[in-house]
Structure 1
Amino acid sequence: RVVNDTHGDLTYLRIYSGILKKGDRVLNPGNGKKENISRIFEMHAKDRQALDQVGAGNIVAVVGVKDSITGDTLCDPDNPIILERMDFPDPVISMSIEPNTADDNRKLGEALVLIRREDPSFQSHFDEETGQTIIAGMGELHLEIIKNRLVRDMKIGVEVGRPRVSYREAIKGSAENVRGRFKKQTGGRGQFGDVAINLMPYTKEQAEEDGLEFKDNIAFENKIIGGKIPKEFIPSVEVGVRQTALSGITAGYPLINIKVELIDGSFHAVDSSQIAFEQAARLALRDAVQKAGSILLEPIMKVVIITPEEYLGNITGDLASRRGMITDTEDRGHVKAVNAEVPLSEMFGYTTILRGMSQGRAANSMEFLEYRPMPPSLQAEMVKSGA
């Protein structure tokens, strides 16, 4: 874990084996870079005690690590090893954030880079279409904490937009031998690209079994034989597929859990180019999704509510009105614990509403569970409104 400190970044480490000494040079086998352990501290809240060395089983903070992030392994350069990484889920909620002044804009960029390094579940990017900076995280509270940290701790003036749920698109079935042809003649050299693809639903487990890369929940397989498309154009087809899927087909949300097989195509000796095959792949994927049928997926949150029994009826009724499904209710001493699965879109401002229903005596926690298909009526409404 990486934490910003007044004297530089503090990197928290757990020592699994061996002895780490002050001044040691260690290897990050994930990126191949070496790190210097300039100082070692044993942390006690805000107090710290300097150490010369530390053994297995201890958790310490070190200074000097520059190119490693949360989840990386550091080891002896002569005995490289990579421990299993932590998996960080994709963000499920996003909102725009705008600096108040030019100076705030400069500081905001630096602050977001720092926060991303500390918190791998947080993401930010600049949307060129709207000219806005978008921050994304694991829930409404997560983004509220980020905003408060920017304003209160880092003294950056910002304004934030309304939170938006990060939906996903998927396909209902498969589509075979869908062709995409891009042909353009402008007087001089033209553009020509022609591809045929198969599209099918696909999972991470299937990709691992087949030995395919599943980056961004998309697998691509080249099944071209006989040189129908020159090898130098195959990567362009994959780029076109992946970029189109990430930008969305039906409602502008990323298309996930798909496999695209490139099975056929043709080229022109003069007019074919990388751009032409990229555009042909875009056209083919759009047509394939229309034939396969698309659905919208919404993030479902696992919600746990602790409440006195006298408020149980009101709370469960409210959850039902939010399309929530109660999975379990149990006794915990003098209170009830309600476990439910609720769409994130129905949970904005829920903490305040829960306090009102229980006179401030109920509490809740919420974490991402999975993506599930959205009800057809809501999906149609969202696509129609262009949400």
Structure 2
Amino acid sequence: MFRLLSRRLFSSNSFTPSDVLRNTRNIGISAHIDSGKTTLTERILFYTGRIHEIHEVKGKDGVGAKMDSMDLEREKGITIQSAATYCTWKGNQVNIIDTPGHVDFTIEVERALRVLDGAIMVLCGVSGVQSQSYTVDRQMRRYGVPRVAFVNKLDRQGASPFRVTQQLRDKLKLNASLLQVPVGVEENFRDIVDVIREQTMHFEGDRGEKLVLSDTIPTEVRERVKDIRQELVDRLGDIDDAIAEQILNEEHPSAEQIEAAIRRQTLALKFTPVFCGSAFKNKGIQPLLDGVLKYLPSPTEKAINALRITQGNDELGNPTSVETPITLTSDPSLDCVALAFKLDDGRFGQLTYVRVYQGTLRRGDNLVNVSSGKKFKVPRLVRMHSNEMEDVEELSSGEIGAMFGVDCSTGDTFLSGNSAEKIAMSSMFVPDPVMSLAVAPTKKDTASNFSKALQRFSKEDPTFRVSFDPEAKTTMIAGMGELHLEIYVERMKREYKCDVTTSAPYVAYREAITGKVTFDYTHKKQSGGAGQFGRVAGYVEPLPPNAETKFEFVNGIVGNAIPPAFFPAIEKGFREAVTKGPLIGHPVWGVRVVLTDGAAHSVDSNEMAFRMAAMGAFRSVFAATSGEARPVILEPVMKVQVSAPVEFQGVVMGGLNRRKGTITNATTESDFVQIDCDVPLAAMFGYSTDLRSATQGKGEFSMEYKQHSPVPQSSQEELINEYKKKRKDEAA
């Protein structure tokens, strides 16, 4: 349908490609788990005519929501993989990505927001701002994504859009204001009043598909509507010059002027309009869609930041790349620039999801992968509707689609084959895994499928890492949490017919130093003939806590104490040393190595000698736990949020204390208490079972990675002794 619309627009004298772009919205739907994202997407697709039947996430008919296409998603009632679709609303093209809410799958939200222009932030009308809401908020801020908020589930007991809006202001520090007021509460929720145009919206029909407007506002909410409207104008007056001038002149802004101000400030990331309704009860969806068109940006209104890469040479004549920030233009006639943001291994080979930022991507075009330098021809282009595909001939600037049969990685940039410039889109943030498992196939004849599964999953998901422990001779998989790894183990069984055995969860500890220490280390080896000699001297110090890198090497040598040709080998030696610390064999984080002196032998010095010298120097820094470096072990600490009935508050807090948790906040809403705390990941294994037992199945919790913090001294000694014992047993 959109293709037909595009052709009509392009063939008309009154429309240009820019008009089509202005009528396009690329949005994501993000929220804390179980806030109703997928149910909301299902209603959007129904009201826009994209689907003709509504199925619930945990429906009794066994079909499940359209956007949850995996069997595991339908069984567990959660979204595991982000799913793309598109629809048309009032002549506007809306591309949608429905994202998971569980923190274990946060990379799906991360890469979706990286390529989207706007977002709907969904909040539960009862629970309000929850732990994953903070994560989603950080991701939206990271990529500068304007958002509208939608307070869902107003039919539930204890729901209040006014309380949730205040939480947006207090907890997320957003300048948020309601644009709507519900009529009726909880099970009596029936209508919504638009406070800007002062109209009541009735949702009639079996599925609320018929929207009827009335100028009569129910008496029960008339004063509330008046107050909310005044509050909205006041908040806009604080940030918008046009509204402020009207207020100073004692003028009353019209509905059109208020809406224009909301759009300006939403795009400027200074305001968050708040809508409300109940997706499950089919109320509030059409006004939300109108809000997406009114207040969220088109591809032409979002700055497209990229990097121009030029080749050069450093002072030693070595080739280097210089990256210069540039801004691209959403012009379909320019050279094509597209970004691969998600990979999926489907029935027809690798499916690469792409966002076209500039130019037009056509089937049969010659492209170049900026990362690898490889050239290829686009064999097939599709647009996605969950797990369904529609073949297309081209994807224009601002559109989202997918390519088949392209060998690439997540985050790769594609350019037109004849492009005179080398351009790369800015990369996306990928969090480090916090948990590992040792896995092995139960049957030898499934080893091939086991390898294929690991290769596919690690390519699809940047937070899923695979490694081999040569000492234990086991394959390790690492991810963002228990559920994350559990899902992949289950997918191996279902999709690759490969049963695997798993070990106990393996926590991603890190090692670090807390003090500055000097080193002066000489590596000598003489066994007849040419030997090995390399001396390195300098100091190691901890990096600042907010440093972007985990390791930094600085060459501070003045003069030719060490020939420059050996500097890369020295840096390589230090980088190898930090991959496995001497305390418990985990990577070393947050260190800066500064090389200040050294010595070389005219015959015996070589790259191997200096690499070994660097590794020996680094190990010497950690030789004594009581030395100047004061090495410590860091453990992942999780931000945990527990919700349970008030009568179980004492037993829940007691359980968290036993798990070494530090309670930071506890609030009571209706009959439920919400407890926020920080707990070491190592203490959280099996907590879901304990919480269900302690609260008669009524409690629930969520957790996300917060930071790595030093373990207590007693625990550090215990971990070091366990590691020594393990090494001793393996040697025996």
TM-score normalised by length of structure 1:
0.90
Residue 444 of structure 2 is aligned to residue 113 of structure 1? no
Deviation at 1:229, TM superposition (A): 1.4
After superposition, what is the alpha-carbon deviation per residue over 1:106-156, rounded to whole angstroms, capped at 9, x for unaligned?
A: 221222111111000011112222221111111111111111111122111
Q: Give the 3 Å change call, closer, same or farther, for CA 27–310 of structure 1 in structure 2.
A: farther
Name the residue aligned to 2:360.
Answer: 19
After superposition, what is the alpha-carbon deviation per residue over 1:321-348, rounded to whole angstroms, capped at 9, x for unaligned?
A: 2121223334556533332221100011
Name the residue aligned to 2:553.
Answer: 220
What is the CA–CA distance in structure 2 between the aligned matches of 1:56 and 1:204, rounded to whole Å? 40
Q: Give the 3 Å change call, closer, same or farther, for CA 204–343 of structure 1 in structure 2.
A: closer
Name the residue aligned to 1:151.
Answer: 493
Match of residue 62, structure 1, among 403, 406, 417: 403
Secondary structure at the aligned position of 1:187 is classed as coil
User: Which one has the largest radius of gyration?
Assistant: 2
Match of residue 229, structure 1, among 554, 558, 562: 562
Match of residue 43, structure 1, among 384, 396, 402: 384
Residues 579 and 588, structure 2, Cα contact 8 Å, conserved in 1: yes
Residues 644 and 672, structure 2, Cα contact 8 Å, conserved in 1: yes
Residues 296 and 374, structure 1, Cα contact 8 Å, conserved in 2: yes
Where does 1:130-279 land on structure 2 (aligned, <5 Å)? 130-176=472-518, 178-203=519-544, 214=549, 217-279=550-612
After superposition, what is the alpha-carbon deviation per residue over 1:140-190, rounded to whole angstroms, capped at 9, x for unaligned?
A: 1111111111112211132111111010011011012x1111222223333
Residue 384 of structure 2 is aligned to residue 8 of structure 1? no
Residues 98 and 159, structure 1, Cα contact 8 Å, conserved in 2: yes
Residues 450 and 496, structure 2, Cα contact 8 Å, conserved in 1: no
What is the CA–CA distance in structure 2 between the aligned matches of 1:193 and 1:292, rounded to whole Å? 23
Q: Residue 445 of structure 2 aligns to which amino acid in structure 1?
A: D
Deviation at 1:226, TM superposition (A): 2.4
Secondary structure at the aligned position of 1:15 is classed as strand
Residues 524 and 532, structure 2, Cα contact 8 Å, conserved in 1: yes
Deviation at 1:29, TM superposition (A): 2.4
Q: Residue 585 of structure 2 aligns to which amino acid in structure 1?
A: G
Residues 15 and 57, structure 1, Cα contact 8 Å, conserved in 2: yes
Residue 310 of structure 2 is aligned to residue 310 of structure 1? no
Residues 245 and 254, structure 1, Cα contact 8 Å, conserved in 2: yes
What is the CA–CA distance in structure 1 between the aligned matches of 2:621 and 2:654, rounded to whole Å? 42
Structure 2 unaligned segments of length 5 or more: list them.
1-341, 727-732
Deviation at 1:204, TM superposition (A): 8.2
Q: Give the 3 Å change call, closer, same or farther, for CA 284–13 of structure 1 in structure 2.
A: same
Secondary structure at the aligned position of 1:121 is classed as coil
Residues 646 and 668, structure 2, Cα contact 8 Å, conserved in 1: no
Deviation at 1:74, TM superposition (A): 2.9
Where does 1:88-107 land on structure 2 (aligned, <5 Å)? 88-107=430-449
Name the residue aligned to 2:690.
Answer: 353
Residues 180 and 282, structure 1, Cα contact 8 Å, conserved in 2: no
What root-mean-square deviation, in Å, do the aligned CA atoms of Structure 1 and Structure 2 show?
2.2
Name the residue aligned to 2:659.
Answer: 322
Q: Residue 414 of structure 2 aligns to which amino acid in structure 1?
A: L
Q: Give the 3 Å change call, closer, same or farther, for CA 258–313 of structure 1 in structure 2.
A: same
Number of residue equivalences:
377
What is the CA–CA distance in structure 1 between the aligned matches of 2:353 and 2:667, rounded to whole Å? 37
What is the CA–CA distance in structure 1 between the aligned matches of 2:596 and 2:618, rounded to whole Å? 13
What is the CA–CA distance in structure 2 between the aligned matches of 1:205 and 1:37, rounded to whole Å? 42
What is the CA–CA distance in structure 2 between the aligned matches of 1:50 and 1:7, rounded to whole Å? 13
Residues 104 and 158, structure 1, Cα contact 8 Å, conserved in 2: no
Q: Residue 376 of structure 1 aligns to which amino acid in structure 2?
A: Q
Deviation at 1:3, TM superposition (A): 0.9
Q: Residue 525 of structure 2 aligns to which amino acid in structure 1?
A: K
What is the CA–CA distance in structure 1 between the aligned matches of 2:671 and 2:377, rounded to whole Å? 53
Residues 97 and 161, structure 1, Cα contact 8 Å, conserved in 2: yes
Q: Residue 577 of structure 2 aligns to which amino acid in structure 1?
A: T
Deviation at 1:56, TM superposition (A): 4.1
Name whichever of 31-40 and 238-247 sits farther off. 31-40
What is the CA–CA distance in structure 1 between the aligned matches of 2:715 and 2:378, rounded to whole Å? 54
Name the residue aligned to 1:30.
Answer: 371
Deviation at 1:52, TM superposition (A): 2.3
What is the CA–CA distance in structure 2 between the aligned matches of 1:133 and 1:152, rounded to whole Å? 20
Deviation at 1:268, TM superposition (A): 1.8
Deviation at 1:57, TM superposition (A): 4.1
TM-score normalised by length of structure 2:
0.49
Name the residue aligned to 1:210.
Answer: none
Q: Residue 257 of structure 1 aligns to which amino acid in structure 2?
A: G
Match of residue 703, structure 2, among 352, 356, 366: 366
Residue 420 of structure 2 is aligned to residue 84 of structure 1? no
After superposition, what is the alpha-carbon deviation per residue over 1:203-226, rounded to whole angstroms, capped at 9, x for unaligned?
A: 48667xxxxxx4xx2111122232
Q: Residue 566 of structure 2 aligns to which amino acid in structure 1?
A: F
Residues 513 and 630, structure 2, Cα contact 8 Å, conserved in 1: yes
Sequence identity percentage:
38
After superposition, what is the alpha-carbon deviation per residue over 1:293-315, rounded to whole angstroms, capped at 9, x for unaligned?
A: 10111001122223222222221
- Larger strand proportion of the pair: 1
What is the CA–CA distance in structure 1 between the aligned matches of 2:365 and 2:389, rounded to whole Å? 20
**Higher relative contact order structure (alpha carbons within 8 Å, sequence separation ≥ 6):** 1
Residue 635 of structure 2 is aligned to residue 294 of structure 1? no
